[in-house]
Structure 1
Amino acid sequence: MSEYSQNKTIIERIIDYYVRNVSRDNQKRAWKWTFRFFVLATIVTIGFPTYVMLKSAFQPEVTLFSNTFHWIPPAVTLENFRELFSGTNFWTFYLNSIIAALGTMIISVTGATLAGYALTRFSFPGKKRLAQSVLFSYMFPPLLLALPMFMIWRDFGLINSFPGIILAHSARSLPFDIWLMWKFFQTVPISYEESAWVYGAGRIRAMRDVAIPMALPGIVAVSIFSFAISWSDFTLANLLLTQEGMKTLPIGMIGFIEQQAVNWGLIMTASVMMAIPAFLLVYFLQSYLLRGFSVGGLG
């Protein structure tokens, strides 16, 4: 018998012994604890950088690079927050980011809802191919689109303006948003709208009163996704927003990197403040988000 066959026979014997001698309850318990281990490992992997960010934000800068790692900071201070709020243009950057993210959210939700409804309810040649090509356009990285977008935006006078950055972020977010709403409207039975038509409602009213409320989880998922795209964008904002008063928070944080040093205290503090809106948005709307992504084929 070859060495490969011997190894295979040994493995088969181990599996057969496990199946015959280990009860089904013990097998389920083993798989359960294995699953818990991987979940815990994932939480630790994701949570540790967040913990370091929070700890560094409340820690004096002189102790950030101590040779000894402390799980609890030896000293806690709010000096980083005072310097961030009073010594930088943080609130200007923060307000600009909020305006850009909310504007992107409004345009993306409106455009994706109308386009997703039209792709689901109307028939025209090449509809399925059009829907698939919309998602394909999302695969292009922002860096590839940045230069052509800059040239077009410059010709239309949209550089250093809220309409310009909102349209840029919407163009980046809309392909996936349209595909998600197209998938979600497919789960809304058209018979409900037909019942509304029987009672005298037009298509627009049936869409507003019947289809859109039933597609609310998908709309919430699109809202969160488009908000995140705009809130965390660096590439397009760095190219389209050059004036100090128009910069968003990811671009404004570059100013905390000095020529000879990096102000890690300010960077970590700004990162904490930047994470708060996204965390609250996802936390309060997480049930809609999970349902919307599961319908879209991501769950």
Structure 2
Amino acid sequence: MSNRESDLEPLSDRFKSDTPIWNRFSYSQQRTVKTLGLYALLGLILLTILFPLYWMFITSVRPRADVLTRQPTVLPGEVTLANYERLFFFSDFLMYLQNTVIVMIGVVFITTTLATLGGYGLTRFDIPYQDTFAKGILFGYMFPAILLAIPMYILWSQLGIINSYIGLMLAETALALPFSLWIMWKFFQTVPPSLEESARVAGASRFRTMIDVALPIAKPGIVAVGIYSFAVSWNEYTLPKILMPGADNYVITTGIQAFTEQNTVMWNQIMAATFLASLPAFLFVYAFQKYLLSGFDPSDIG
């Protein structure tokens, strides 16, 4: 029976008591129910993700008395920007932000460069046991930052790079590089070697071939590595806390603790700082989403 005939089926036959409830609906009705259910599920997931960000924002614009009430409301009764004023003009938040941005730029640059060169080399050069080596890279991804912090602190102390940008950059790169290198190794496997061979026949060097042929095609993978290394650096707490203990070298994740005192927790300023620290992650992903999505459609790569 066609879908149109199913829609015209007599209601008396469709709603017999022995017919399963789902089968009593026509095909178009079933499709509508499935679509509405999918949108409802996506809406629930989106609400779950965005609600913490919303709660941070409304808490940051509440007066202190409203934050400490026993019956918080979804909408603030009074809105004030005094918390952001104190954050920018009466705290070291801008210094924390500056330190975070400097370290993040270094981590993204070093990680992306090493992962791209390493991934390309693993797929284009004849390296003994290269598959075993590439898969073993993920073994380094298993170690959490807390396990590496103390050995790094001892080594970094001997090298004299404690409380320095370069020391924290190298430490966070060590966290981000294993998975980033594995991503680029897998991605370069999808780049046809025949394209590079054609360029080599035309007289291009190996380096020029990589720059002009392989890297433009691998742009989505490079962006993915950049976003991942950005997230690692921006959100890391353990390594900055141990390797950058000086108050003048705090990043955002460690600097937020400055808004707690012995008997007082300044929730308004903590939420304001956390909200502002969360925005760059959303904006960074939004700005580069087209490069990530182009990885699913070869016609968009270029």
- Which amino acid in the other structure matches residue 274 of structure 1? A
CA distance in 2, matches of 1:138, 1:62: 45
Identity of aligned residues (%): 42
Asked if structure 2 preserves the Cα contact closer than 8 Å seen for 1:220 and 1:292, the reply is no
CA distance in 2, matches of 1:118, 1:202: 15
Tell me the number of residue pairs that the alignment of Structure 1 and Structure 2 aligns: 282
CA distance in 1, matches of 2:295, 2:241: 31
Asked if 1:35 is matched to 2:38, the reply is yes
1:218-237 Cα distance to aligned partner (Å, 9 max, x none): 11111111011001110011
The alignment partner of 1:17 has SS state of: coil
After TM superposition, the score normalised by the length of structure 1 is: 0.89
Q: Which of 264, 269, 272 is the matching residue for 2:272?
A: 269
Mapping 1:213-292, distance limit 5 Å = 213-290=216-293
CA distance in 2, matches of 1:166, 1:15: 68
Asked if structure 1 preserves the Cα contact closer than 8 Å seen for 2:260 and 2:266, the reply is yes
- Which amino acid in the other structure matches residue 210 of structure 1? V
Q: Evaluate the alpha carbon distance shift between residue 258 and residue 214 of structure 1 in structure 2; reply closer, same or farther with a 3 A threshold.
A: same
The alignment partner of 1:133 has SS state of: helix
Asked if structure 1 preserves the Cα contact closer than 8 Å seen for 2:96 and 2:252, the reply is yes
C-alpha displacement at 1:23, in angstroms?
A: 3.0
CA distance in 1, matches of 2:18, 2:264: 58
1:255-284 Cα distance to aligned partner (Å, 9 max, x none): 111111211011011012212222211111
1:198-240 Cα distance to aligned partner (Å, 9 max, x none): 1110110000011001111111111111011001110011000
Mapping 1:37-76, distance limit 5 Å = 37-76=40-79
Q: Which of 142, 148, 152 is the matching residue for 1:149?
A: 152
CA distance in 2, matches of 1:15, 1:137: 59
The alignment partner of 1:138 has SS state of: helix
- Which amino acid in the other structure matches residue 30 of structure 2? Q
C-alpha displacement at 1:140, in angstroms?
A: 1.2
- Which amino acid in the other structure matches residue 77 of structure 2? P
C-alpha displacement at 1:294, in angstroms?
A: 10
C-alpha displacement at 1:19, in angstroms?
A: 6.5
CA distance in 1, matches of 2:38, 2:18: 20
Mapping 1:44-123, distance limit 5 Å = 44-123=47-126
- Which amino acid in the other structure matches residue 24 of structure 1? Y
Q: Evaluate the alpha carbon distance shift between residue 28 and residue 152 of structure 1 in structure 2; reply closer, same or farther with a 3 A threshold.
A: same
- Which amino acid in the other structure matches residue 100 of structure 1? V
CA distance in 1, matches of 2:108, 2:18: 53
Moved more, 201-210 or 145-154: 145-154
1:77-102 Cα distance to aligned partner (Å, 9 max, x none): 11111111121111111100000000
After TM superposition, the score normalised by the length of structure 2 is: 0.88
Asked if structure 1 preserves the Cα contact closer than 8 Å seen for 2:66 and 2:72, the reply is no
Runs of at least 5 residues in structure 2 that lack an aligned partner in the other structure? 1-16
Give the aligned partner of residue 170 of structure 2.
Answer: 167
C-alpha displacement at 1:68, in angstroms?
A: 3.7
Q: Evaluate the alpha carbon distance shift between residue 119 and residue 15 of structure 1 in structure 2; reply closer, same or farther with a 3 A threshold.
A: farther
CA distance in 1, matches of 2:297, 2:45: 21
Asked if 1:202 is matched to 2:205, the reply is yes
CA distance in 2, matches of 1:28, 1:21: 13
